[in-house]
Structure 1
């Protein structure tokens, strides 16, 4: 960042803070008393047929009328797909307990061996999406785990191998060696509408095979909307109750198809849960199975939505002479990044990418995510009052870049 614009970074810093509301990753529940606790490609199961009527033996009896009642659609879904929902126990040995552990922040694990070593344990959920033993869950459930164990509803227990995890979308895939496995069909999350039924199955707080029901509250929630602006996911919002331990479990439609992967809740709120759309999760899972990692395009800027109030404030206090009415203000350009090489500068206003207007930071993120590493995008910017069209070759986002480049 040049000297002209370095000064306005402290001014903008408070503007970023509201984005980071308390968000609680729901990956682990109580695992122990006193402890808070080679496939080349994915063979994704096709969506199942609509749930059919179950046999009379599975009917629910009324305790008041003394007569048999047909099971509702939730009972049918749970009977059909419940056996494919699994519990995931993960443990991780921390060699330097004094270093901050993201798991320790969630569940206050006791220190052992005179603070020389500690074992963090957590419990999450997952689901079998391929009969060959592929299990989908959240990346934060198995992050840096030394040992992963997968427990099925029928009592079987298997050692799991993490094929890959993607922190940017919070998707991970585990492989277990087993036969006669149940699998859940994957649905379609592109055309979900608020008000549709939503069913969550998982292991909240260690209570295995818990079922909750609600609706789709909203779709297309950006990471910025819920306080995790570095996540490239358009989240599904649901009011189906999800709690610590539900992470990685399926969010299902009324047909029993997976439409999302439960991932987060907002602390202190009720009925505000979020899931990764299965269309996005499936694409990432395929890359993890095939390559052990997922690739994301990288631009290398930090941004904030430009408003008239922000523009006037910067023009008055920082003398930046921003004349654009709307767009996305570039706060920082990462050195040696594709953005820097392509000519983007701090203080620029991004107005369009590939001729599509960019009104919010999420618009920019989605445009970059839709491209592939090595792809070329056309970026229209206002730079010191002058309109410019820049051609930028995108890079590949590495995990260390993700950490370093956060606001």
Structure 2
């Protein structure tokens, strides 16, 4: 009798428009549920309609709290864990009109303002429960007002504690207590192929989550078309769009491994992030001093290779041929710089710094940065085929260099 009743109810589910319910009931899990459900319950719930034949979610989860974490994949778990600490940053700045200033002197242009308010949106993440936020310098550059929006709906007025355009790192302070924070990872341990999860506010779409892998590490600023930056980058194929700048790049455990900062304009699916170890080094100095001083020699450099050397040596205007196949050619010496003061010249080739062979311009920059301001470096240079030694004391990088 019980078996006949169950078969009848299954047929009712299939023929009353509840095909999905009928399919579920005919599945192994549905059959198991059928066997365990009392007939009295069947009769009562059948009178309520086909939909009542399925197990009731509220009954199955009645013991769980309303905010219980639902079992899910690791990406959703990371997003749920880190999302509350990711913020949207709205920065307002005054910019000059792009129109020719002379137009404003014409009688038919009196109503046009010569300046206007420009608003930009970026991302950031909370690194301290009392309201310290890490972001990109270009997100807050020139801003007169900064507003910070949290995922829970709260909005704060922010103050820029410090900004370093050279590394594109900035720190914002908001007045808060017990704010959600991120967990920092170790970017020195990141490997190509590791998972990469980005959270940010691309195109104003708050708390957007994207995922990919670490495509490469140690990308130089020259390689990504940002030669004025003094930092290496993590490369990722996680989608990073305008508005993601300043948001966190996370590993599979939800630890911050980078600060999303750049999109490669000539390709799709290629983004970059500042390694978190370097970002926090800069952030700590900004929090302490409000600014960062970078070491400076005062030279513009070109990395040599055999093909370039051959082309340069064919130039009839060149007074003496290059006699080395690799190293860094000085293309320009900045007037008044430490390099000029010790006698370095355009055309000199740097082949060694403090006993370390030099192969590219990025290596020179890294050694200068590592030395810091006011340190003396020993440069081995080839000039007119002859070896020369120069002792150069690093200066402070000018803001307009």
Same fold per TM (> 0.5)? yes
Could you tell me whether the CA contact under 8 Å between 1:92 and 1:147 is conserved in 2? Answer: yes
SS of 1:199's equivalent?
strand
Name the residue aligned to 2:93: 92
Pair 1:293 & 2:288 matched: no
Moved over 6 A (4+): 54-57
C-alpha distance in structure 1 between counterparts of 2:67 and 2:84, whole Å: 18
C-alpha distance in structure 2 between counterparts of 1:162 and 1:358, whole Å: 38
Matches within 5 A, 1:94-243: 94-95=95-96, 97-98=98-99, 114-243=112-241
Offset from partner CA, 1:189-209 (integer Å, 9 cap, x none)? 012100001000000001000
C-alpha distance in structure 2 between counterparts of 1:277 and 1:312, whole Å: 37
Aligned-residue offset at 1:324: 1.2
Aligned-residue offset at 1:337: 0.5
Residue 201 to residue 115, structure 1, CA distance change in 2 (3 Å): same
SS of 1:341's equivalent?
helix
Aligned-residue offset at 1:313: 2.4
Residue 99 to residue 129, structure 1, CA distance change in 2 (3 Å): farther
Name the residue aligned to 2:350: 350
- What RMSD, in angstroms, separates the aligned Cα atoms of the two structures? 2.0
Matches within 5 A, 1:293-312: 293-312=291-310
Q: Which runs of 5+ in 1 are unaligned?
A: 1-53, 61-69, 101-110, 403-407
Matches within 5 A, 1:64-83: 70-83=71-84
Give the number of equivalent residue pairs: 329
| More relative contact order, 1 or 2 (CA 8 Å, 6+ apart) | 1
C-alpha distance in structure 2 between counterparts of 1:357 and 1:369, whole Å: 17
Name the residue aligned to 1:254: 252
Aligned-residue offset at 1:59: 5.6
C-alpha distance in structure 1 between counterparts of 2:227 and 2:396, whole Å: 18
C-alpha distance in structure 1 between counterparts of 2:98 and 2:65, whole Å: 54
Could you tell me whether the CA contact under 8 Å between 1:98 and 1:115 is conserved in 2? Answer: no
Name the residue aligned to 1:274: 272
Could you tell me whether the CA contact under 8 Å between 1:112 and 1:118 is conserved in 2? Answer: no
Aligned-residue offset at 1:95: 4.4
Offset from partner CA, 1:52-87 (integer Å, 9 cap, x none)? xx9996565xxxxxxxxx311111111111100000
Residue 257 to residue 94, structure 1, CA distance change in 2 (3 Å): same
C-alpha distance in structure 2 between counterparts of 1:99 and 1:247, whole Å: 31
C-alpha distance in structure 2 between counterparts of 1:259 and 1:196, whole Å: 11
Aligned-residue offset at 1:267: 1.9
Q: Which runs of 5+ in 2 are unaligned?
A: 1-63, 102-108
C-alpha distance in structure 2 between counterparts of 1:272 and 1:125, whole Å: 19
C-alpha distance in structure 2 between counterparts of 1:190 and 1:342, whole Å: 36
Answer with 303-312 or 171-180: which moved more: 303-312
C-alpha distance in structure 1 between counterparts of 2:80 and 2:167, whole Å: 30
Aligned-residue offset at 1:97: 4.4
C-alpha distance in structure 1 between counterparts of 2:111 and 2:396, whole Å: 41
TM, length-normalised to structure 1: 0.78
Residue 285 to residue 223, structure 1, CA distance change in 2 (3 Å): same
Name the residue aligned to 1:27: none
**In proportion to residue count, which structure has more helix?**
2
SS of 1:223's equivalent?
coil
Name the residue aligned to 2:3: none
Could you tell me whether the CA contact under 8 Å between 1:97 and 1:118 is conserved in 2? Answer: no
Offset from partner CA, 1:346-401 (integer Å, 9 cap, x none)? 1011101111111111111111111111011111110111111211000011212x
Name the residue aligned to 1:370: 370
Aligned-residue offset at 1:134: 0.3
Answer with 317-326 or 249-258: which moved more: 317-326
Pair 1:390 & 2:390 matched: yes
Offset from partner CA, 1:219-269 (integer Å, 9 cap, x none)? 000011111112111100000111000000000011111100000001242
Could you tell me whether the CA contact under 8 Å between 1:97 and 1:115 is conserved in 2? Answer: no
TM, length-normalised to structure 2: 0.79
Matches within 5 A, 1:312-351: 312-317=310-315, 318-319=317-318, 320-351=320-351
C-alpha distance in structure 2 between counterparts of 1:59 and 1:183, whole Å: 18
Aligned-residue offset at 1:308: 2.0
C-alpha distance in structure 1 between counterparts of 2:111 and 2:148, whole Å: 28
Pair 1:245 & 2:246 matched: no
Name the residue aligned to 2:54: none
Could you tell me whether the CA contact under 8 Å between 1:200 and 1:250 is conserved in 2? Answer: yes
